[in-house]
Chain A
């Protein structure tokens, strides 16, 4: 009797639990923008195409690691939002399904691969953020040049992400190396390291920590700044005179997908001016002209970059970074 009762209960719970998986057109995607922006993008896709995008939030670095580990049997159909290095790597290794989308015709070359291996849905940059209240209290003003960050008065008051786990931090690193050249660039990073309190896991984390006033300055992704300020964080942001770097937010179709038609539909949608508006509204610089929420109509001053080289140098630079910046690493 008892056994029967339990098995009925167990079976009932199982049925309820498994009934949740209904059938509809849906794809799995690795998405590397922030959790709420991922949701916004997925919702937009759902509204316009009816396709449900299942996603987990991961940082750019994590997506790259995931893709490398899984290749060539991917657990997702697409990536919507990964760093350029992942996009180039996927193209080189043949991990993508090339598709030359008519909807992307005429987009500038930074935004679309001629062979259709990847599509850049928006460039993002890094900026300097400061906590208004803490700056005022300490009688300090926002630095005008990146070099000003090396001054001793900022010791222990700067946070930035770690390039080992964050794509945004990798962008900061290759931008500074491009700006100052390899030798001067590493000297700058080492000097900066003396003032940096610690390196965070995620590229957006400094925005929050500075917003809370835990630290006065942060070097952080420009992605969510506007939203955080609207939320009520006492933040100021600026781009020092030397300018900022940029990296793409790539989308691509992963080899082995069984839902190619759905993926193509999504790629087409990503190339439309309407989607560019969505991305610009979050704060990205987009393939189709749209007014940027953070920068407005005038775009920031960019450091000259070679994203292909940056992708090739990434692993080498990780080793140098550890050797030079991790105390007692040698």
Chain B
């Protein structure tokens, strides 16, 4: 940024007309550039999928859709997928809300431990829960044998349970952030005036949280129906769209039918995305990255408190047990069969390389994603050009895009010259950038809404160039949004399997794919050890990042802008 500013100054010396032109139009030029990026890396791959779904070897045809809509199998697959998404979303939201309520409004003593247990699985690949469930509750699992139970883990129920456990952390993270950024004064005044906890919840907390709840619902729905690891391991004979799409592409190499399944997977997501946008029309944005405020613990009435405690205990208990199984499995040759303590799983060198690759990809993706996200947010809020709404919708649509779709789209769009990008780190990083862009953009938008444009205008009136204003005023304000985009992209990119699994190439294995393969192959020890290593390293990265942000913020004496 500093260099661009410098070269701009040089140009300014040669003629102030260029400077004026740039000052007046830089935002439009920026917008055009960003639009090109979005068009190329987000819209084009999706269009490639759409085209593939209607284009056979002999020209355009609807044959593949006919095949989809005339076979009961696919109907069932679609129905199961939607049902899974709905159940998961509701359950995750309820549990996530209870956890978030307890950690932001509940007793201090419980806040930290609950928070840690709820957040740790965020870094673990979602399908890990499938493995723990098999070891514990499989037909010959430890618990099943101990109590001589007869139940059916393989099937719809197993997938729902494992997916729910896997996505509680995401629900919790989003709702906790929403609850934190609610001003507690309203609730406290209501409480002081004698309102019961239930009344406060019903009339203040939940209505205020509505935008955050909706957003979390959308994200969880889209993520659950696209993430196929748990279904691939536990579904048995129950069909789901995401694993079917995966087999269709990687097993049968039927790209046409695979594209049809992807398009069908997008449809419900897009519908929900528009419903969500419609419902939020005119409401203020509440997102990750909001200003956190800690609330004083209040006395919660038993009617509310007891269910809360039951739900949170059960949820964190289940997560804790699953995790304990993973931890134990990492130290045994075959947990539950031959319980011999070994360290060999940790010494497996190939997984280290995969972890290093994952961190590289996620880091690159997070940096690029956060920068693009902040710039997009600026253009969307401050720009006055034709197509602004379109750019906004396009950059937020990442929320509604199942990972499988963008994975296949990238494979279709970028695997042949002149656009050959497959077979390297960049395609993986770019894929993550554009899938997870929405969070950074949204956080940026909400930050920008907090400052009035007058500040920027004042700066311009005093003679600052556009870039100076941007650098000195806009960037500091948007720094938290940058961090939010960075963290979200980094965390989700590192564990997400659904898109990158189509794009990894020899010599560049990623941890998430490596763990999945080891898991499917029955190498549970290696899968578990790799996960534990991944979690430790990611935690270290986050700690370093946290340290840097704190240091730099304190160093420059930056204060949060007043809304």
Point out residues on A near B: beta carbons under 8 Å: 1-6, 9-10, 13, 17, 20, 26, 28-31, 34-36, 39, 54-59, 61-62, 64-66, 68-70, 73, 75-76, 134, 162, 164-166, 197-202, 204-205, 207-209, 211-215, 228, 231-234, 315, 318, 322, 326-330
Contact = CB atoms under 8 A, between A and B. Distances in A.
A133 to B, nearest CB: 9
B250 A66 contact: yes
Interface in B58-87: 71-73, 76
Contacts of B1: 3
Contacts of A234: 337
A55 B134 contact: no
B153 to A, nearest CB: 9
Contacts of A208: 521-522
Contact of A75 (B232, B423, B509, B520): B423
Contacts of A215: 139
B44 interface: no
Determine which residue in A4, A5, A31, A213 has the highest number of CB atoms from chain B within 10 A of its CB, and name it.
Answer: A213
Contacts of B523: 35-36
Given A13-B363, A35-B518, A69 B255 contact: yes
Contact of B252 (A73, A134, A164, A199): A164
Contacts of B338: 231-233
B251 A205 contact: no
Nearest to B252: A164
A35 B337 contact: no
Contacts of A232: 333-334, 337-338, 340
Given A56-B505, A57-B517, A233-B338, 14 more contacts: A2-B556, A6-B548, A17-B363, A35-B521, A35-B523, A65-B251, A70-B415, A75-B505, A165-B252, A197-B237, A209-B522, A215-B139, A330-B71, A330-B72
Query: Could you say which of A34, A66, A162 has the most chain B C-beta atoms within 10 Å of its C-beta?
Result: A66
A235 to B, nearest CB: 10
Contacts of B551: 5
A59 B396 CA distance: 36
A326 B73 CA distance: 7
A156 to B, nearest CB: 9
Given A35-B517, A212-B336, A10 B367 contact: yes
Contacts of A28: 505-507
Contact of A329 (B73, B154, B417): B73
A228 B523 CA distance: 10
B555 A164 contact: no
B299 interface: no
Given A2-B556, A215-B139, A232-B333, A201 B518 contact: no
B253 interface: yes
Nearest to B523: A35
A20 B552 contact: no
Interface string B534-555: 0000000000000010011101
Given A64-B253, A70-B422, A73-B420, A214 B138 contact: yes
A54 B548 contact: no
Contacts of B236: 197-198
Contacts of B507: 26, 28, 54-56
A328 B72 contact: yes
Contacts of B553: 2
Contacts of A65: 249-253
Nearest to A4: B2
Interface in B232-259: 232, 235-237, 247, 249-253, 255
B140 A76 contact: no
B294 to A, nearest CB: 26
Interface string B420-440: 101100000000000000000
B428 to A, nearest CB: 12
16 contacts: A1-B555, A10-B367, A31-B506, A35-B523, A39-B350, A55-B507, A58-B250, A68-B253, A69-B255, A76-B505, A165-B250, A198-B236, A212-B337, A214-B134, A315-B252, A327-B73
B336 A76 contact: no
B513 interface: yes
B521 A34 contact: yes
Contacts of A13: 363
9 smallest CB-CB distances across A and B, nearest first, come from: A54-B507, A208-B522, A232-B338, A213-B140, A65-B253, A165-B251, A75-B423, A328-B72, A28-B506
Interface in B341-380: 350, 356, 359-360, 363-364, 367
A158 to B, nearest CB: 13
A327 B521 contact: no
A228 B338 CA distance: 11
A208 B520 CA distance: 9
Contacts of B71: 328-330
Interface string B199-237: 000000000000000000000000000000000100111
Nearest to A213: B140
A50 B76 CA distance: 52
B521 A204 contact: yes
A327 B72 CA distance: 9
Interface string B272-291: 00000000000000000000
Interface of B: 1-2, 71-73, 76, 134, 138-140, 154, 232, 235-237, 247, 249-253, 255, 333-334, 336-338, 340, 350, 356, 359-360, 363-364, 367, 411, 415-417, 420, 422-423, 471, 475, 504-509, 513-514, 517-518, 520-523, 526, 548, 551-553, 555-556, 558
A201 B140 contact: no
A328 B73 contact: yes
Chain A interface, DSSP helix/strand/loop, else mixed: mixed
A207 B363 contact: no
Contacts of A69: 253, 255, 411, 415
B548 A204 contact: no
A161 to B, nearest CB: 11
A2 B423 CA distance: 36
A192 B46 CA distance: 41
Nearest to A67: B253
B230 to A, nearest CB: 13
Nearest to A206: B522
**Most-contacted residue by chain B among A58, A61, A65 (CB, 10 A):** A65
A62 B250 contact: yes
Contacts of B506: 28-31, 54-56, 75-76
Contact of A205 (B139, B340, B521): B521
Nearest to A203: B521
Contacts of A207: 522
A315 B251 CA distance: 11
A5 B555 contact: yes
Nearest to B74: A329
A34 B520 CA distance: 11
B351 to A, nearest CB: 10
Contacts of A55: 506-507
Contacts of A61: 250-252
Contacts of A166: 251
A73 B252 CA distance: 20
Nearest to A157: B139
A283 to B, nearest CB: 15
Contacts of B350: 35, 39
Nearest to B367: A10
Contact of B232 (A70, A73, A201): A201
B520 A205 contact: yes
Given A28-B505, A35-B517, A55-B507, A328 B522 contact: no
B72 A20 contact: no
Given A6-B548, A75-B423, A330-B72, A198 B154 contact: yes
Nearest to A318: B252
A76 B424 CA distance: 11
Contacts of A70: 415, 422
A248 to B, nearest CB: 19
Contacts of B422: 70, 75
A231 to B, nearest CB: 6
